[in-house]
Amino acid sequence: MLDLTTIPVVDNHCHPVLLNQQIDALQFRGYCTEATDPTFAEKHISNTVYYLWLLRQMATFYGCERDEASVLSARNTLSNDTLLEHLFRAANIDTLVLDPAYPPTAACYSPERMGQLGRCRAVKMLRLETLMQELILQHSDFDDVIDRFSTKISHARENGYCALKSIVAYRTGLNIAEWSKDEAASAFVEARAGAAERGQLRIAHKPLIDFLLHIAFQHAAHQQLALQFHTGYGDSDTDMRLGNPLQLREVLERKDYQSMPVVLLHESYPYSQLGAYLAAIYPHVYLDLSYTIPFVDKLEMLAFTRQALSVAPASKLMFSTDSIHIPEMHWAGALRGRAVIAQVLDEMIAADEIDEEQAYHLAQQILHDTAYAVYRL
Ligand SMILES: [Zn+2]
């Protein structure tokens, strides 16, 4: 059996944890699903394989019984800082690449503090749609929005962001099109009017989002700054038909964007083979392999890891957890990712595809080296 525990991981996509770690059973179950309907936490989550596995891992870590009540009371007796410290250090993390746009900043540990407690580096990315929303609310003139958006993105790297992120798959889909400035400006007027009516803005205006995204792509390409796209699995807010990474074709084909590394998040699940295919064909496309979210069991993780490693070079694959809310997720994802990657590589050794030395080299790339190159860590 390959042992990958000594390789410090770069978690290339994850979120901050909450400042208040005192959680009850319903909250805990709610954190273990992408379903937003409350009946899932009440009735179904305790019947999912992923959840049962996580409880067992936590019981071993805290040295308590495996039932939900014992596990939660064991973790809730620890102070918030101690919880983070113990779990992050046990996970052997080199770098956390954080998307601080969610959960809300005021409720969360800062990237700096997470890094201190975990004795790891913590770097951050800039979420484009959040910036768009802020600017659209603040400015009544579309040219002002364009100017400020361009300025912020063109200085992203020097201001400490190691990547950009887009959740356009959650809004209008990955089939990002080219629109005229007039079309974008009318959508901007509509978005502002809607916001004035409802008192809040949720941009889902396709010409507006697509137009601003193309501006971001130009600045990202200029700085050779990576762009992470949410692809595939998400809550029901995402139209999964438009979350297929093949929808990105027009963006991927643009010659002037080739210097912008494109990262397909969440193994594009369940389009994992298609995501691996894109990483195998386009020089600037990378596939993220996430081992906490989507919440699937080990057999499914083995399946997408096999698909990815069978199709794409390991120098195009990157480990992550997409963890959020509680530090157990970052820890469990690191353990799980190493174990799943090791098992797949063992199968490949047994099949006489590679030898052990080559297997370690491929693992090192997925867990650490590819992300160092893509984000210039
Ligand atoms: Zn995420």
Ligand 1 centre distance from Cα of residue 180 (Å): 31
Ligand 1 centre distance from Cα of residue 353 (Å): 33
Q: Tell me if 348 sits within 8 A of 361, measured CB to CB.
A: no
Q: Is 210 exposed, middle or buried (0-12, 13-18, 19+ CB in 10 A)?
A: buried
Q: What strand order describes the sheet that includes 262-264? A: 9-14, 93-98, 121-127, 161-166, 226-229, 262-264, 285-290, 317-320
Q: Which of 189, 208, 243, 15 is nearest to 129 (CA)?
A: 208
Ligand 1 centre distance from Cα of residue 131 (Å): 16
Ligand 1 centre distance from Cα of residue 18 (Å): 15
Ligand 1 centre distance from Cα of residue 322 (Å): 5
Q: Tell me if 69 sits within 8 A of 76, measured CB to CB.
A: no
First-residue to last-residue Cα distance in the chain: 30
CA angle (159, 164, 166) in 5-degree steps: 145
Element (H, E) at 338: helix 327-350
Q: Tell me if 166 sits within 8 A of 257, measured CB to CB.
A: no
* Residue 237 confidence (pLDDT): 81
Ligand 1 centre distance from Cα of residue 62 (Å): 27
Ligand 1 centre distance from Cα of residue 363 (Å): 23
Ligand 1 centre distance from Cα of residue 14 (Å): 6
Ligand 1 centre distance from Cα of residue 230 (Å): 7
Instruction: Give the Cβ contact number of residue 312 at 10 Å.
Output: 20
Q: Tell me if 210 sits within 8 A of 196, measured CB to CB.
A: no
Q: Cα dist. 66→21, 101, 218, 299, 346 in Å?
A: 20, 34, 51, 22, 30
Ligand 1 centre distance from Cα of residue 242 (Å): 18
Ligand 1 centre distance from Cα of residue 140 (Å): 31
* Residue 238 confidence (pLDDT): 82
Ligand 1 centre distance from Cα of residue 239 (Å): 16
* Residue 260 confidence (pLDDT): 98
Structure tokens at 348: 């490949």
Q: Which of 80, 115, 113 is nearest to 97 (CA)?
A: 115
Q: Tell me if 367 sits within 8 A of 95, measured CB to CB.
A: no
For the chain, 377 residues long, give each residue's pLDDT as a single digit of tens. Answer: 999 999 999 999 999 999 999 999 999 999 999 998 999 999 999 999 999 999 999 999 999 999 999 999 999 999 999 999 999 999 999 999 999 999 999 999 999 999 999 999 999 999 999 999 999 999 999 999 999 999 999 999 999 999 999 999 999 999 999 999 999 999 999 999 999 998 888 889 999 999 999 999 999 999 999 999 999 998 878 889 999 999 999 999 999 999 999 999 999 999 999 999 999 999 999 999 999 999 999 999 999 999 999 999 999 999 999 999 999 999 999 999 999 999 999 999 999 999 999 999 999 999 999 999 999 99
Helix (H, G, I), strand (E, B) or coil at 122: strand
* Residue 202 confidence (pLDDT): 87
Ligand 1 centre distance from Cα of residue 226 (Å): 15
* Residue 223 confidence (pLDDT): 97
* Residue 278 confidence (pLDDT): 98
* Residue 21 confidence (pLDDT): 97
Q: Which residues surround ligand 1, an ion (CB under 5 A)?
A: 322
Ligand 1 centre distance from Cα of residue 167 (Å): 9
For tokens 């019984």, the residue is 65
pTM across the whole model: 0.97
Give CA–CA dist 167/127, Å, rounded: 8
Torsion-angle region of 376 (φ positive above 0: left; ψ -120 to 50: alpha; else: beta): left
